[in-house]
Each structure stands twice: as C-alpha cells, then as structure tokens.
C-alpha cells in the first residue's frame, strides 16, 4: 500500500533548470561561445556539490585562458542574479498543487528529495507557500553523496518512517530516476522542458512516465501503480 509521495524539486516542483541553463548561455555568448544543451543534460539532477562539470572551467578551456578570482566571482554573481530574475514570478509546475492537495486528503505522507542545497530548496518552498506541506525535506547538503546515489531518497524514507515499497518518487531527470530506483522506490518520470531531451533508458528507465503531472490524477496514479505491481506478480 502506498503511504508516501516523494517529490524531486528542481524541474519537478519548480522549473529552475531552464533559467539556470539560459543564464549560462548568456555568459558564454559574452565570450563568443555557445553553451550546448548536450553538455549540460548529463549533469541535471546531480547537484552543485557533486557535479563534475563546471561551466566556468569549460569556458576557460574553450578560451584557452584562466579567469582571475575576481572574474570568476563576478561571473558567478552575474549568473546567480540573472537566474533570480528569470525565476521571478515562475509558477509552481503544472499538476503539483493538485497532487499535494489530494495527497493530504488521502492521508499520504509527503517528502522532498533534492540534490540542491537546503537553502535553495527551502527558500523557494517558503516563497511559494509550500514548505509546510512536507513532513520531510532532504537536500544535497544533508547527505554525503547526491543523486544518482540513492542516499537522499533513503534519508527521506527514514525520516518519513516508510519502506521503499510504500512510496512513489516523482522525478524529472535520468539521474533522479536512477537514485529513486536504486533506493527501491517506484518512480514516475515527468520530464521537464530540458530533460525531455535526455535518454530515460537502462537504469534510468522509470516505472511510469507522464508528460505532465496533470496528465494523470493522483488517484489514477495510485490505481495504475497497483495494477502494474499486480501484473508483475502474475
């Protein structure tokens, strides 16, 4: 029986990934370079602290020179400010509020499992008026290793007091799907504007994939999960 719903944050609750990508694109354009989506896609969902790909280092490599400490800090501040501007007024992703309201009505426990920092996730959830909806929020700085490692999901399961088979994970990226599946959680993928271009295959193959959360109500999703599990047991 499903007793908990665990949400990813970036690209799932709030479309933060496009603003970040656009902000980096604009920085690259200043130097006559192109920031390709193909370079960024494999690292979506990993989180900044564990991400081996540094866009500034890549830009330095292409330019054949190193930025000074002052230049690096200026560019990072510029990117952060531009990202903030692009995020202003960004609504909660389609279907999320309906899922939260239905989950609460059904008595499901709610959690967030994100590779991003707690300051980033909690700050946005508070701004959106959603923070109090969740009984447990686990972020990248709460675990030693972020997605695709399952640590953040295992931490949320422990916090909520539920077993993996009692939860559903909602994810937008292949790295997030890998993390949820490695934790043994039934995973539903709802690709974002960016991650719909990424391959959801092999270990990143979700148990179910939807175009948007509104494509299937939570009650219908729960019925679908029960049906899929029943068919596998035959």
Burial (CB count <10 Å: 0-12, 13-18, 19+), residue 185: buried
CA atoms within 13 A on the CB side of 196: 11
Place of tokens 């290793």: 145
Place of tokens 């009984």: 135
**Percentages helix, strand, coil for the chain, rounded to the nearest 5?**
55, 10, 35
Q: Active site residue: 8, 149, 172, 207, which one?
A: 8
Structure tokens at 111: 């959690």
- Residue 172 annotated to the active site: no
Cα gap 117→140, rounded to integer Å: 5
- Residue 8 annotated to the active site: yes
Q: Are strands 136-138 and 109-113 parallel, antiparallel or unpaired?
A: parallel
Whether the link from the prior residue into 148 is cis, omega within 30° of 0, is yes
In the chain, how long is the greatest CA-to-CA distance?
63
- Residues serving a catalytic function are 8, 10
């Amino acid at each position: 029986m499903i007793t908990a719903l665990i949400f990813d944050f970036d690209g799932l609750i709030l479309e933060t990934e496009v603003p970040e990508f656009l902000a980096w694109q604009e920085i690259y354009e200043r130097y006559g370079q192109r920031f390709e989506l193909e370079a960024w896609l494999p690292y979506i969902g990993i989180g900044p602290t564990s991400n081996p790909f540094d866009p500034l280092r890549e830009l330095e490599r292409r330019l054949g020179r190193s930025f000074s400490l002052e230049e690096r800090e200026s560019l990072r501040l510029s990117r952060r400010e531009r990202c903030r501007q692009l995020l202003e007024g960004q609504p909660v992703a389609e279907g999320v509020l309906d899922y939260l309201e239905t989950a609460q009505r059904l008595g499901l426990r709610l959690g967030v499992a994100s590779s991003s920092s707690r300051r980033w996730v909690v700050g946005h959830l508070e701004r959106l008026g959603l923070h109090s909806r969740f009984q447990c929020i686990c972020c990248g700085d709460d675990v030693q290793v972020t997605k695709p490692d399952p640590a953040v999901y295992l931490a949320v399961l422990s916090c909520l007091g539920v077993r993996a088979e009692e939860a559903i994970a909602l994810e937008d990226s292949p790295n997030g799907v890998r993390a949820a599946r490695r934790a043994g959680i039934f995973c539903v993928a709802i690709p974002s504007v960016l991650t719909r271009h990424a391959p959801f295959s092999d270990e990143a193959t979700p148990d179910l994939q939807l175009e948007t959360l509104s494509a299937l109500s939570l009650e219908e999703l729960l019925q679908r999960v029960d049906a899929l599990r029943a068919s596998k047991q035959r």
